[in-house]
Amino acid sequence: MTEFAEDELIFLPLGGSGEIGMNMNLYGFAGKWLLVDLGITFADGEQPGIEVITPDPTYIEERRDDLAGLILTHAHEDHLGAVAHLWPRLRCPVWATPFAAALLRNKLEEAGLLLEVPLHIIEPGEQLQIGPFGIDFIALTHSTLEMNALAIRTDAGLVLHTGDWKLDPNPLVGPKSDEEALRRLGDEGVMALIGDSTNALNEGTSGSEGDVLESLMRICANRTGRIAVASFASNVARIDTVARVAAAHDRHLVLVGRSLWRIVAAAQECGYLNDLPPFLTDDEGAYLPPEKVMFMCTGCQGESRAALARIASGNHRHVTFEKDDLVIFSSRVIPGNEMAISRVRNRLLWNGVEVIGEKEPGVHVSGHPCRDELAEMYRLVRPKIAVPVHGEYQHMLAHAELARSLQVPEAVVIENGQALRLSPGATEVVAEVQSGRCYVDGDVLVPANDDGVRTRRKLMFSGGAVVILVADPDGELLADPELVLQGLASEGAAGTTDLMAAAGSAVEAALDELPDSARRDDGRMTETARVALRRLIRDRLGKRAVVEARIIRLD
């Protein structure tokens, strides 16, 4: 087991470094660990039957007696979505601001954990002591509410963990970033900044939510058809923006998608969005005149089960879009989702709907800092060490290069599972520990190398087959081998008309070569049949199929 000296301050990412999403970061000092964020990512189609992926918590699970607690920086799924899945393996206290806690409680209730998890509410701007870690919560702007950077104080030095952030001069909902608090930290002396790298390749600034308000006001003026805006449900500022645009154009705002209603309920519980006209449900708004209604929909990434995809395909119970209507994609395209988004856009266009995407100026601004904002953060904080996180490798390299150009003495790029010593002595990777991914497979959490998931993946790409043998105790077949194809060209397809007969003949011929002793052994019989069938399918169909053989013995 990897252990560290009591006086060493260790930063150890287990998720979110070298990838966007699935954030899980550990700080170790004086024999204790502090966990910052516990998020998910979503499957990309390479994992059939899997939708949600979490970090592998094995390393800290084995040391959970030394885990002082978990702090959630904000309410996005890639920062808190794994809590309900992984908390039973960690069983530590959890701290979150009111909005994040409201959303987390819903998840914990669904998982039957609400009464078990010790969830503590911390107000933005407050201070907290957890074991040897003193923490200041510093308000920063992001695309959801109550994002807080963490100033983590130990006897070995002060670290600023930025979480996700931007410098928005006009955020509309929630406060501006507390730049004065960042400047005070810089004056105090920050040893290391552990920072968001998502937009480190992008010049300039991320833009303001106020700019989106102005753009949508212009785009929606003088429209006679229905207007719909698709965005991330968690973007509370965007909900506020769209509501203001709707009211300004004498339209009622209809929320379409359960996650939007969950976010709005949590926001209103915490005192946000309460100064807006009432939101309508889809069945209430669907029958209003087109010029009097504005929809806000989930599904901006083309998700097949989300509201917008169902509307576009004509499968929504209440809402339809048609000629002269307008749909605005008010979000960025997440890499990997291009085809899904294109399918939804094409269906809308086929129905005569006008579609506007992120290339239209001002319909979306990012919640993450571009290079000018990163530079301003470094000017305020003035750390000795920069450690990029939350980004693909290309983003983290660009972040590190920018930090060096701003005269940060050290900039270190590490990967998940690499333990970086921040203090004392040289900043260097001192250990590599187990990291990786776990899949939420139905109600079960399984490792990424689980046999069931691997077999499913092979079946998805290559198909499969099962051959069933019925034999007496001496191995004599009592019936022709029965073949079941799974995801392969069926009987009668070109080139496979005699596949069933050929398979039976190949299996029987292989079994005939076995000595009598082997024919009485179930394992030898099934393996021989499996190899023969697999070879036949490869030769006939050109597929390396997943093949099984089973035997039934009859007296």
Question: What is the SS3 assignment for 491?
Answer: coil
**What is the architecture of the domain spanning 463-553?**
Roll (3.10)
Highest mean pLDDT pick, 327-336, 340-349, 497-506: 340-349
Residue 45: pLDDT band (50, 70, 90) is: low
Joined tokens for residue 213: 């308000």
The whole model's pTM is what?
0.87
Mean pLDDT for the stretch of residues 268-274: 95
Mean pLDDT for the stretch of residues 67-84: 96
Residue 333: pLDDT band (50, 70, 90) is: confident
Question: What is the SS3 assignment for 550?
Answer: strand
Q: Which residues have a Cβ under 8 Å from the Cβ of 481 and sit 6 or more positions away?
A: 467, 468, 469, 503, 504, 507, 508, 529
Q: What is the pLDDT of residues 200-256, one digit of tens each?
A: 999 999 999 999 999 999 999 999 999 999 999 999 999 999 999 999 999 999 999
Query: Of 228, 249, 238, which Cα lies nearest the Cα of 273?
Result: 238
Residue-level pLDDT at 1: 43
Mean pLDDT for the stretch of residues 430-435: 96
**Cβ atoms 135, 152 nearer than 8 A:** yes
Kindly tell me the sign of the dihedral angle through the C-alpha atoms of 300, 301, 307, 309. positive
Question: What is the SS3 assignment for 7?
Answer: coil
Mean pLDDT for the stretch of residues 53-72: 97
Residue 497 pLDDT more than 80?
no
What share of the chain has pLDDT > 70, as a percent? 98
Instruction: Identify the residue with better confidence: 464 or 240.
Output: 240
Helices (H), 253-407: 258-269, 282-285, 307-312, 338-350, 371-381, 393-405
Residue-level pLDDT at 94: 98
Strand runs (DSSP E) across 462-555, as ranges? 464-471, 482-486, 546-553
What is the CATH class of 209-356? alpha beta
Q: Which residues have a Cβ under 8 Å from the Cβ of 526 and sit 6 or more positions away?
A: 469, 549, 550, 551
Could you confirm whether domain 9-204+366-447 is CATH 3.30.70.20? no
Highest mean pLDDT pick, 399-413, 468-482, 495-509: 399-413
**Cβ atoms 131, 93 nearer than 8 A:** no
Every domain of the chain and the residues it spans: 9-204+366-447, 209-356, 463-553
Residue 43: pLDDT band (50, 70, 90) is: confident
Instruction: Identify the residue with better confidence: 179 or 358.
Output: 179
What share of the chain has pLDDT > 90, as a percent? 75
Mean pLDDT for the stretch of residues 449-457: 77
> What H or E segment, with its residue span, contains residue 439?
strand 437-441
Q: Which residues have a Cβ under 8 Å from the Cβ of 154 and sit 6 or more positions away?
A: 9, 27, 29, 30, 132, 133, 134
Mean pLDDT for the stretch of residues 330-351: 91
Residue 6 pLDDT more than 50?
yes
Decide the pairing of beta strands 192-196 and 157-161: parallel
Helices (H), 116-269: 179-188, 209-220, 236-248, 258-269
Residue 42: pLDDT band (50, 70, 90) is: confident
Residue 125 pLDDT more than 90?
no
